[in-house]
Chains A and B, each alone.
Chain A
Amino acid sequence: MLEVEGLTKIFPGTARGSTITAVDNLSFSVEEGEVFGFLGPNGAGKTTTVRMLCALIAPTRGRATVNGFTVGRDDGGIRRSVGILTETPGMYDRLSAEKNLLIFARLYGVADPAGAVGRYLRMLGLWERRLDPAGSFSKGMRQKLAIARALLHEPRVLFLDEPTAGLDPEAARLVRDFIAELRAEGRTIFLTTHNLDEADRLCDRLAIFKTRLMTVDTPAALRQRLYGRQVVFHLSRIEPGWAEAVAALPFVKEARAVDARLLVRLDDPEADNPALVRRLVELGAEVRFVGELRHSLEDIYLQFIQNG
């Protein structure tokens, strides 16, 4: 659905003759129906990337196809076939919610503008407020209105730039739930966010990006790659030498004791946990609880961003 190859954007700098590379040699692909998370710090070039892929600005180098249309060659086709939620909702504050959406439905050439507008206003719980000026809406309502605007022409690819930024927890949850619904409908979603928990929950794959691409993978694979898999054994007590005894097992990569817990790093916990438990029982341990230690996406993200 999205194919990106060597995409680069260089802007002129403020000093005469200087340049700023916002996006450097970016390559990745996104499959149909996938939710693709694009993570990076402020100023990393996320919005520039979204703008290039939505045919709003031209790449300096590289090639990208979106929904079969090539950036720079079929820009009109791209704009017709994608929906975009921009970083700020950008509503016409003096106009009603309904009028705001009707304008965009007509610009996108929707066959039944009033029908499409009514459907999305109801779907997002804004029908009762449809005649109110968009300027009177709360931040969450404006964001929902902007999402409706991005969906009016039923695009198969959606670009959501920081969809929950600045929203209170309730509004953010509503927006996240709606994104999950869109995912269930099989739409391809390109999501840029600072909210790592949100990315972890919603995205099939994640790209970590800071001017250039650092990594792309599923959240689980990123954890595995950085930390391996870790199992934590909660014991009633730990005797000296137990951690070393466990570490001596051939499938264990590392074992260490922390308070009354034993942290064990290994590749395949599902296959090797029974043998581990048996060994601990042989050593005289009383196993109270076994769980997998799951590193937060924040740990992974910071590891990549800080280490470059």
Chain B
Amino acid sequence: MTTTAVAPAAPRIRQPKPPRLRSKLRDVAVMTGRNIVHIRREPLQLSDVTIQPALFTLLFVYILGAGVVLPGGGTYVDFAIAGLLAMNLVTSSMGTAVGLSTDLNTGVIDRFRTTPMWRPAVLVGRSVTDLLTSVVCAAIVTITALAIGWRPDAGIGAVIGGFALFLLFAYALSWGCGCLGLVSKGPESAQGVGLVILFPAAIVSNAFVPTQRMPTVMRVFANWNPISIVTDACRQLWGNPNPSAAIQTWPMQHALVASLLWSAALLAVFAPLAVHLFRRRTTN
């Protein structure tokens, strides 16, 4: 009996098909998985959501706490933890800017762009990765806080609600940082510009000190600052000391709704803008 070599079938031309939700989710999962491998290979990348938050929590509580007297009473540690969570999550959302900028400066984006993948998956995957690192960051702050005596005075639902509020805000903000990464030349400049914007924004807020005795300009800014609003909402939910409750502005009186509105607004503006900037940056 003779065997005849059968020529393999010629590769067929594939017809286009509209991307389905399932394949979009798969692409997001693949991109997220890739980012996580990066973090596992270089765990020091994570220092700004691990070592730094623990250090900041201890420093701020013991140094600032020694001098700050809260109007309306309460311990500084109970007051400060929501603020520390705000600052650490806000600065860690910079990871999106740095990560995207790094990707854009390597050839790997070209490889992605020649596959039939859903292109925004590059962005969504990045933001999901940063949500995961935000969870790590929040956990570190919480563990450190519990160790030095922070206690929420609320039900488990409200406590979880507080964390959810912060994570949502950090996620929305990471899209803004994503835009920054997409317009900056490289990861270093993305990091630099991001810090210059976000660090003062976190400081000029009710995160570490009550706003009541700030100079007028600073006070007005701090009282309308979304970081103050989210922190205010969280302190209410956790039953922690909250001097901002006495401030008669609409967002401070309706902090929960206002912080949800802020997160929604950030997402509504920056997510489409990021997709647009990504398209523009990767087409020439």
A binds B: no
Which chain B residues have a beta carbon within 8 Å of chain A's beta carbons?
none
Which chain A residues have a beta carbon within 8 Å of chain B's beta carbons?
none
